[in-house]
Amino acid sequence: MDPSKNWAVFIHPSTLKLASFVETLLEPVICKETAKKIELGLHEALVNAVVHGNLSNPNKVIRVRRILTPNWIVWQIQDEGLGLVEDKRVCCLPLNTDVNSGRGIYLIHKCFDDVRWSRKGNRLQLSLRK
Protein backbone atom coordinates (compact mmCIF):
# COMPACT_ATOMS: atom_id res chain seq x y z
CA MET A 1 0.00 0.00 0.00
CA ASP A 2 1.24 3.46 -0.87
CA PRO A 3 2.11 5.14 2.48
CA SER A 4 0.68 8.45 1.25
CA LYS A 5 -2.80 6.90 0.90
CA ASN A 6 -4.98 5.91 3.81
CA TRP A 7 -6.86 3.26 1.84
CA ALA A 8 -6.25 0.37 -0.54
CA VAL A 9 -8.46 -1.87 -2.65
CA PHE A 10 -7.81 -5.59 -3.01
CA ILE A 11 -9.51 -8.00 -5.40
CA HIS A 12 -9.38 -11.73 -4.77
CA PRO A 13 -10.81 -14.61 -6.80
CA SER A 14 -13.82 -16.29 -5.25
CA THR A 15 -11.93 -19.28 -3.83
CA LEU A 16 -11.22 -20.55 -0.34
CA LYS A 17 -7.45 -20.14 -0.79
CA LEU A 18 -7.42 -17.20 1.60
CA ALA A 19 -4.37 -17.50 3.88
CA SER A 20 -1.98 -15.15 2.05
CA PHE A 21 -4.82 -12.75 1.22
CA VAL A 22 -5.78 -12.48 4.90
CA GLU A 23 -2.10 -11.89 5.79
CA THR A 24 -2.01 -8.97 3.36
CA LEU A 25 -5.21 -7.49 4.79
CA LEU A 26 -3.76 -7.77 8.33
CA GLU A 27 -0.58 -5.78 7.61
CA PRO A 28 -1.64 -2.64 9.56
CA VAL A 29 -2.51 -4.63 12.71
CA ILE A 30 0.56 -4.40 14.96
CA CYS A 31 -0.45 -6.29 18.11
CA LYS A 32 -0.03 -10.06 17.55
CA GLU A 33 -2.84 -10.97 19.94
CA THR A 34 -5.25 -8.60 18.21
CA ALA A 35 -4.05 -9.82 14.80
CA LYS A 36 -5.07 -13.41 15.65
CA LYS A 37 -8.58 -12.29 16.57
CA ILE A 38 -8.91 -10.12 13.45
CA GLU A 39 -7.51 -12.93 11.29
CA LEU A 40 -10.32 -15.20 12.50
CA GLY A 41 -12.97 -12.56 11.81
CA LEU A 42 -11.62 -11.64 8.37
CA HIS A 43 -11.31 -15.29 7.38
CA GLU A 44 -14.88 -16.00 8.45
CA ALA A 45 -16.21 -12.95 6.58
CA LEU A 46 -14.29 -13.88 3.42
CA VAL A 47 -15.46 -17.51 3.56
CA ASN A 48 -19.04 -16.26 3.90
CA ALA A 49 -18.54 -13.96 0.90
CA VAL A 50 -17.16 -16.81 -1.23
CA VAL A 51 -19.58 -19.56 -0.16
CA HIS A 52 -22.82 -17.70 0.57
CA GLY A 53 -22.41 -14.50 -1.46
CA ASN A 54 -20.69 -15.72 -4.61
CA LEU A 55 -21.98 -19.29 -4.25
CA SER A 56 -18.40 -20.59 -4.69
CA ASN A 57 -18.41 -19.37 -8.30
CA PRO A 58 -14.73 -19.08 -9.33
CA ASN A 59 -15.67 -16.57 -12.04
CA LYS A 60 -16.69 -14.05 -9.38
CA VAL A 61 -14.43 -11.98 -7.12
CA ILE A 62 -14.32 -10.58 -3.61
CA ARG A 63 -13.44 -6.89 -3.26
CA VAL A 64 -11.94 -5.55 -0.06
CA ARG A 65 -11.30 -1.91 0.70
CA ARG A 66 -9.02 -1.33 3.68
CA ILE A 67 -9.23 2.14 5.22
CA LEU A 68 -6.81 3.50 7.81
CA THR A 69 -7.80 6.44 9.99
CA PRO A 70 -6.12 7.81 13.10
CA ASN A 71 -8.54 5.81 15.30
CA TRP A 72 -9.75 2.90 13.17
CA ILE A 73 -8.77 0.19 10.71
CA VAL A 74 -11.77 -0.61 8.51
CA TRP A 75 -12.26 -3.48 6.08
CA GLN A 76 -15.18 -3.38 3.63
CA ILE A 77 -15.75 -6.82 2.13
CA GLN A 78 -18.02 -7.02 -0.89
CA ASP A 79 -19.14 -10.03 -2.89
CA GLU A 80 -21.10 -10.24 -6.15
CA GLY A 81 -24.10 -11.96 -4.60
CA LEU A 82 -27.66 -10.84 -4.06
CA GLY A 83 -26.98 -9.90 -0.44
CA LEU A 84 -27.86 -11.33 2.93
CA VAL A 85 -31.42 -10.47 3.92
CA GLU A 86 -31.70 -8.29 7.00
CA ASP A 87 -33.29 -10.87 9.31
CA LYS A 88 -30.35 -13.25 8.68
CA ARG A 89 -27.79 -10.67 9.90
CA VAL A 90 -28.54 -11.46 13.54
CA CYS A 91 -25.59 -11.83 15.88
CA CYS A 92 -26.49 -14.94 17.89
CA LEU A 93 -25.46 -18.55 18.20
CA PRO A 94 -27.73 -21.21 16.68
CA LEU A 95 -30.11 -22.87 19.15
CA ASN A 96 -29.13 -26.29 17.82
CA THR A 97 -25.45 -26.66 18.74
CA ASP A 98 -25.12 -29.83 16.66
CA VAL A 99 -25.33 -27.96 13.34
CA ASN A 100 -22.14 -27.43 11.31
CA SER A 101 -22.88 -23.83 10.37
CA GLY A 102 -24.55 -20.70 11.68
CA ARG A 103 -21.82 -19.31 13.93
CA GLY A 104 -20.04 -17.07 11.43
CA ILE A 105 -21.85 -13.80 12.00
CA TYR A 106 -21.62 -14.30 15.76
CA LEU A 107 -17.84 -14.87 15.47
CA ILE A 108 -17.40 -11.84 13.24
CA HIS A 109 -19.17 -9.62 15.77
CA LYS A 110 -16.92 -10.94 18.55
CA CYS A 111 -13.75 -10.16 16.55
CA PHE A 112 -14.45 -6.53 15.62
CA ASP A 113 -15.41 -3.37 17.49
CA ASP A 114 -18.04 -2.39 14.91
CA VAL A 115 -19.86 -4.43 12.24
CA ARG A 116 -22.20 -2.88 9.64
CA TRP A 117 -23.97 -4.14 6.53
CA SER A 118 -24.80 -2.33 3.31
CA ARG A 119 -28.50 -1.90 2.61
CA LYS A 120 -28.32 -4.59 -0.09
CA GLY A 121 -26.47 -6.94 2.25
CA ASN A 122 -23.55 -7.88 -0.01
CA ARG A 123 -21.02 -5.56 1.64
CA LEU A 124 -19.84 -5.99 5.20
CA GLN A 125 -17.89 -3.28 7.01
CA LEU A 126 -15.66 -4.50 9.83
CA SER A 127 -13.92 -1.97 12.07
CA LEU A 128 -11.14 -2.26 14.63
CA ARG A 129 -10.45 0.58 17.03
CA LYS A 130 -6.71 1.34 17.17
Residue 124 maps to a domain: yes
Residue 121 maps to a domain: yes
Q: Give the Cα separation of 10 and 23 in Å (integer).
A: 12
Q: Give the Cα separation of 115 and 125 in Å (integer).
A: 6
Residue 1 maps to a domain: no
Rounded average pLDDT over 81-96? 78
Give me the sheet containing 7-13, strands edge to edge.
7-13, 61-68, 72-78, 123-129, 114-117
CATH number at residue 94: 3.30.565.10
Residue 52 maps to a domain: yes
Residue 26 maps to a domain: yes
Q: Which amino acid is at 36?
A: K
Domain that holds residue 41: 7-129
- Say yes or no to pLDDT of 70 above 70: yes
Residue 84 maps to a domain: yes
Residue 2 maps to a domain: no
Domain count for the chain, please give it: 1
Confidence of residue 2 (pLDDT cuts 50, 70, 90): low
Residue 64 maps to a domain: yes
- pLDDT tens digit sequence for 98-120: 666 667 899 999 999 999 999 99
Q: Are 48 and 62 in contact (CB under 8 A)?
A: no
Q: Give the Cα separation of 99 and 102 in Å (integer).
A: 7
- Say yes or no to pLDDT of 93 above 70: no
- Element spanning 25, H or E: helix 19-25
- E strand map for the chain: 7-13, 61-68, 72-78, 114-117, 123-129
Confidence of residue 96 (pLDDT cuts 50, 70, 90): low
